[in-house]
Structure 1
Amino acid sequence: MERAQAKQEFDKAVELAKRSDVVVLALGELAMMSGELASQSSLDLPGRQQELMEAIAATGKPVVLVLVNGRPLNITWAASHIPAILEAWHPGNEGGNAIADLLFGDANPGGKLPITWPRSEGQIPTYYAHNLTHQPEGGRGFTSRYWDQTGAPLYAFGYGLNYSKFAVSNLKVANGSVKLGGKVDLAVDVENTGTRTGDDVVQVYIHQRAGRASRPVRELKGFEKVTLKAGEKKTLHFSLGRNELTYWSQASRDWVRDEADFDLWVGLDSTATLHSEFHIVQ
């Protein structure tokens, strides 16, 4: 009886999609399905949700996928077949109103992923701030640590779209060589190159090339959210000091700061390519 009713509701949803101009498809998990004592061995959408999504996409109607979930899910298929995906997480009592504001364009999404989003559970753990030894790509001819997929995540840490487009340029480091204990000041231009007002988050990443311990390939050390009108440009200023340039040393059991060469990137997520460098000297 329950199976027959479920099939009836499934078919009803597909038929409704066929009669609609646009489909808003809400999928995901219950709050109890993630968190403490709720570990799962799969990131797949529960039940027949994946099947439903594919059936509705096959109708040819534009689909907006709204994800309600507390952890990353396997949406690799959706990423290449669904034109718009809104990650709502578990938004609380006012979540419906907030989602409606975004879908109707009354508000502009400007959020960024606080995690690295894997393609499948086989990539876990995956995180942007790993050491070089954790990433074999590019060494001895290897392009991925997996035979069946790229080693890159589906979405990078810090990634997120909005209803406009932004460009970051003209990175300038005021003092490329500073003494131990000093500050590194930098400036960068951000421009709304789209056709409407939008929000975005400019992010600063560094890599310490050598030191008393192996350092992550990238670390987020600064960010600023900006709201710009179409065509508007703004110069942002960041300062990297003691809090950004020290790290905890297991050997010294203390916070340390090394004389070292640093890479610097500024962009809109952890794959930023706008690059410069600076040096800390004695």
Structure 2
Amino acid sequence: LKNQGNVLPLRKDMRSILVTGPGATEVESLNSRYGPSALDVVSILDGIRQKLGPGVQVQYTKGSEFVDAGFPESEILPVLPNSQEQAEIERAKNLAQQADAVIVVLGENRDLVGESRSRTSLDLTGFQLKLAQAVHDAGKPMVVVLMNGRPLTINWIDRFVPAIVETWWGNEFFGSAVADVLFGDYNPSGKLTITFPKTVGQIPYNFPYKRGSQIRTENLNAQEKKTMVNGPLYPFGHGLSYTIFRYSDLSIAPAVQKPDGTIQVSLDVENTGARAGDEIVQLYISDEVTSVIYYESVLRGFERVSLMPGEKTRVRFTLGPQDLMLLNRNMQWVVEPGRFQVLVGASSEDIRLRGAFEIR
């Protein structure tokens, strides 16, 4: 989700590293009654230790539990940590000061996510945020790893922690896979299929969304900007890589088409970074004028491309009538005449190339 200053991937030749947080040793949540169960799941802590071997001192302390004793009421009436809980947070901070880097594993377990487990808030539960803040004060390179079943409003972490990795809930070799990402043996390429809000006050917050339902920050008036937190924390389609991709040379043909025709969209994608990696190129369209209230934009294609450093490839999409249709006021699926914007990018908000075509 974030990699400021290229903190990730971490070096494997560090002298010592601290792993903390309630998710570091969590494995019970990774066995599901909807899939394989009774597995010997690799925790994130074990995956890191296996990755680094005996040459690196991997320190561990839990730091905090997932919830505090006052949960769930503490979501609206916060409580302070008791002396034992505060001592554990301080222990994590002290160990962080002695380490070369810190990995903090935060989020949720199966007691917090699932059927009949709705919540009042999307903030981190318990004293997890206090743990992250205390460890951050140690001043060492820091990575927050999230393991969770819903979007979380991690605004402080997003603002102050340089690197954030979203893992959701894995399965048997979960910890090994996370370690591969953290230490650069795998270059991540995943993209969000949901939107992370900044606050529950924005919910429902989703993609795609109808025009006027989710105002863009640049469209707020002067007074609204003084009183309203706006925009997603992380938008639909967001996800980073350890390399850099450049988009260029957008082609849209034909420029004018009949309602039953097709549109060919193509572009070049080049890996301009130093690592091999995969990019997921996303194609969105926006029907500029519609007879009914319609979506601001919709995803109409995506392609994964694997590129070596310096390699370039041509990515192609075909748009047909089914991609342009809407349900009109007579409950008929139709392609309406008019101008359609073509938006190609790395997420629903990170649009790299723009063009248009017309249906007559």
Q: What TM-score, normalized by structure 1, do the two folds share?
A: 0.92
Match among 264, 269, 274 for residue 342 of structure 2: 264
Aligned to 2:91: 12
Aligned to 2:155: 76
SS at match of 2:212: helix
User: Match of 2:265, as an amino acid?
Assistant: L
C-alpha distance after superposition, 1:195-240 (max 9, x if no partner): 1111111100001112332221111000001111111111100000
User: Match of 1:50, as an amino acid?
Assistant: L
Task: Judge conservation of contact 2:205–2:214 (CA < 8 Å) in 1.
Answer: no
Aligned to 2:283: 204
Residue 79 of structure 1: how far off its partner (Å): 1.1
User: Match of 1:248, as an amino acid?
Assistant: L
CA separation in 1, counterparts of 2:255 and 2:219?
33
Aligned to 2:187: 108
Match among 241, 257, 262 for residue 320 of structure 2: 241
Report % sequence identity.
39
Aligned to 1:90: 169
CA separation in 1, counterparts of 2:220 and 2:154?
29
Matched, 1:252 2:315: no
- Output aligned runs, 1:55-70, within 5 Å: 55-70=134-149
C-alpha distance after superposition, 1:227-272 (max 9, x if no partner): 11111111100000133112334x3333222122101110111111
C-alpha distance after superposition, 1:114-172 (max 9, x if no partner): 11111111111112422222244579861685644442111111011011111211111
Aligned to 1:21: 100
User: Match of 1:260, as an amino acid?
Assistant: G
Aligned to 2:203: 124
Q: Which runs of 4+ in 1 moved over 6 A?
A: 138-141
Q: What TM-score, normalized by structure 2, do the two folds share?
A: 0.73
SS at match of 2:111: helix
Greater CA drift, 58-67 or 10-19: 10-19
Residues 31/242 of structure 1: CA separation in 2 closer, same or farther (3 Å cut):
farther
- Output aligned runs, 1:28-47, within 5 Å: 28-47=107-126
Match among 230, 235, 238 for residue 309 of structure 2: 230
Unmatched runs of 5 consecutive residues or more in structure 1: none
SS at match of 1:134: coil
Aligned to 1:159: 238
Greater CA drift, 145-154 or 203-212: 145-154
Task: Judge conservation of contact 1:205–1:219 (CA < 8 Å) in 2.
Answer: yes
> What is the aligned residue count?
279
**Root mean square deviation of aligned Cα:** 2.0
